[in-house]
Amino acid sequence: MRPATRAVHVGRPPHDSDEPLNVPITMAATYVAGGSREYGRYANPTWTAFEEALADLEGGEQGARCLSFASGLAAVSVVLDLVGTDQLVVAPRHAYNGTSMQLADLESRGRIRTALVDITDTAATVAACEDAALVWLESPSNPAMELADLAAISAAAHEAGAYVVVDNTFATPVLQQPLDLGADLVVHSATKYISGHSDVLMGAIVTRSDELYDVLKRRRDLLGAIPGTFEAWLALRGLRTLPLRVERAQANATELARRLTEHPAVTEVRYPGFGGMLAIVLADADTADRLTHGTSLWVHATSLGGVESMFERRRRWAAEPATIPEGLVRLSVGIEDVDDLWDDLVSALPHR
């Protein structure tokens, strides 16, 4: 079966009389002894249904296994826990802020070493992998919308004996399956496209390695960064429509990128050619702020991947690197009517 069908059908109870169509919300802090679940921090049937569905979308025919977490950053933290003391992590110079801050924090405390690279420069990234224990990739990257050659970098990293992790939050498994390109681990902020409605915080890790799964499962058991049961249920409900939402957001983003390229107030449009995320560069911070404060439909907010369109000027955050232009606005295109989105944007852009 194809992904859009599997997104709807995987992780459901059997088609038997009186079974519910959807997996129930199992509220359980503990289980009667003697089985495999034991305690609420180790397992939950509602998490399992979500994990099966996401593992199926990322793993495809070869399969994969998934662990869900309290947030995307909880998943990021558990992966970074794989890195031994003083080992090297190669990571993008432009990445999700929380990941960059987490890497900087670990480095400042002497836990790890980091090498930040321009992931669009494959040769430089490959060269940096030589001494690495872990290579962290984000493609498209936040908020620069840069692309990495995942297959080439994964091959080089493996030759150097490093694990490869891809944060697939922006592309989603609908548009990119990093495990097929050589990644050992895929990380998600399921808060974004996977749940899709800006009402849940959740994260996930997907892998084909039983060994890594066991290590990461044990880290989750011990750290306790587990999702809420209701959150897992909502995220699974959201995942059922993921292919449909991504298809629509992508169609809208493609059209907006085309129109914005022709708008005189827009200096640069960064759209990688797929997905629902894009960035535009305006003349300066003031012009960008007037846009993000001047619309009625587009919401000024810092998240992404919801059904509603939202945007923000990234440099309003102190932690955003100075290599990101002051006037860069990141747009998360929703599933509204594209003409309404366009009219609202144009009304808040300078006319010339």
Ligand X SMILES: *Cc1c(COP(=O)(O)O)cnc(C)c1O
Amino acid (1-letter code) at residue 299: V
Instruction: Say which of 56, 65, 96, 245 is annotated catalytic.
Output: 96
**Three-class DSSP category at 57:** helix
Instruction: Say which of 65, 192, 313, 315 is annotated catalytic.
Output: 192
Which one among 23, 49, 67, 73 touches ligand X, defined by CB under 6 A? 73
Nearer to ligand X, 105 or 284 (CB): 105
Which one among 65, 192, 240, 330 touches ligand X, defined by CB under 6 A? 192
Q: Applying CB under 6 A, does 176 fall inside the site for ligand X?
A: no
39 is catalytic: no
Radius of gyration (C-alpha) of the chain in whole angstroms: 21
User: Which residue spans within the chain are E strands per DSSP?
Assistant: 65-69, 88-92, 113-117, 132-138, 163-167, 185-189, 203-207, 266-270, 277-282, 299-300, 310-313, 328-332
96 is catalytic: yes
Footprint (CB under 6 A) of ligand X, residues 209-248: none
Q: Applying CB under 6 A, does 167 fall inside the site for ligand X?
A: yes
For 187, other C-beta atoms within 10 Å of its C-beta total: 28
Q: Applying CB under 6 A, does 201 fall inside the site for ligand X?
A: yes
Q: Which residues contact 119 (CB under 8 A, 6 or more apart)?
A: 92, 94, 125, 137, 138, 139, 141, 146, 147, 148, 153
Query: How many separate helices (H) and strands (E) can be counted in the chain?
Result: 12, 12
- Block residue for tokens 């289980």: 31
- Please report how close the Cβ of residue 228 comes to ligand X at its closest, in angstroms: 13
Nearer to ligand X, 99 or 309 (CB): 99
Q: Applying CB under 6 A, does 326 fall inside the site for ligand X?
A: no
Q: Applying CB under 6 A, does 102 fall inside the site for ligand X?
A: no
352 is catalytic: no
Nearer to ligand X, 142 or 287 (CB): 142
Pairing type for strands 328-332 and 310-313 reads antiparallel
Cα dihedral angle (115, 121, 126, 127), rounded to 10 degrees?
A: -70
Contact indicator for 329, 314 with CB cutoff of 8 Å: yes
Contact indicator for 86, 113 with CB cutoff of 8 Å: yes
Give ∠ CA 205-12-39 in degrees, rounded to 5.
Answer: 60
Kindly indicate which of the ranges 71-79, 125-133, 228-236, 336-344 contains the residues binding ligand X, using the contact rule CB under 6 A.
71-79
Instruction: Say which of 149, 167, 184, 289 is annotated catalytic.
Output: 167
- Residue 325: cis peptide before it, omega within 30 degrees of 0: no
- Please report how close the Cβ of residue 73 comes to ligand X at its closest, in angstroms: 4
Q: Applying CB under 6 A, does 96 fall inside the site for ligand X?
A: yes
Which residue has its beta carbon closest to ligand X? 72
Q: Kindly determine how many residues on this chain lie close enough to bind ligand X according to the rule CB under 6 A.
A: 17
199 is catalytic: no
Instruction: Say which of 41, 93, 259, 290 is annotated catalytic.
Output: 41
Q: By the criterion CB under 6 A, which residues form the site for ligand X?
A: 71-73, 96, 98-99, 138, 142, 167, 169-170, 189, 191-192, 201, 203, 304
Catalytic residues: 41, 96, 167, 192
